[in-house]
Copies of this chain bind each other. A is one copy, B any other.
Amino acid sequence: MRADARKNRDHLLAVAGTAITEQGVDASMRDIARRAGVGLATLLRHFPTREALLEALLHTSFDELTTKADELEKSASPEDALVSWLRDCVAWTTEYRGVTVLMAAAIEDTESALHASCVTLRAAGARLLARAQAEGAARGDIDGTDLFALIAALAWLGDQPSLAPRADHLFDVVASAILTSAAGGPAGEERRPRTRG
């Protein structure tokens, strides 16, 4: 890759990062190019599709999440590891407004530039889930894809301005559905933390 091309690529990635953080993943490609002081064609040659751009941008974040899953698998209880990782996943998506829809589309689309990353993420979650299920800490009738879908749904909630205020609370509700031990009590009863101690 030629030196000028490399420079342009790096600069475009930096500018795209701020633009997408500000305006969400639907930020105008033309606008990103403009803010980078570059023609639209240049942006589109480096990143032929919006997904390709996002892949380059989010790659490290994906890696961090899978690494985190590995760490939690060793350090925390199955239950805490699962819930804590889920929370991290959902929290992460809030940085990139709108990314959920693209991830949902990418998980089954082998052509998508985001496909591999999404599959890796699902696998990491599946491992944590299986570990929790083996101990009876998580219900047995869900798998990695279900988990991915639940993460996506909760992340989508956080993306909707009107529903976002409830996202944290509803995370707890859904988490309680995943965990076997939180099968509920009478109405109004306070749910107690169940950290293994």
**Distance (Å) between the CB of A149 and the closest chain B CB?**
4
Interface residues of A in 141-197 (CB under 8 A from B): 141-142, 145-146, 148-150, 152-154, 156-157, 160-163, 166-167, 169-170, 173-174, 176-195
Kindly identify which residue among B176, B180, B189 contacts A187, using a CB–CB cutoff of 8 Å.
B180
Interface residues on A, range: 35 or more
Query: Which chain B residues lie closer than 8 Å to A195 at the CB level?
Result: 181
Q: Is A5 an interface residue (CB 8 A)?
A: no
A187 touches B153 (CB 8 A): no
- CB nearest neighbor in B for A182: B183
A140 to B190 CA separation, bound complex (whole angstroms): 8
A30 to B162 CA separation, bound complex (whole angstroms): 29
Query: Which chain B residues lie closer than 8 Å to A169 at the CB level?
Result: 141-142, 146
B152 touches A163 (CB 8 A): yes
**Distance (Å) between the CB of A25 and the closest chain B CB?**
14
B162 touches A146 (CB 8 A): no
A170 to B153 CA separation, bound complex (whole angstroms): 10
Using a CB–CB cutoff of 8 Å, the interface residues on chain A facing chain B are 101, 104-105, 107-109, 133-134, 136-142, 145-146, 148-150, 152-154, 156-157, 160-163, 166-167, 169-170, 173-174, 176-195
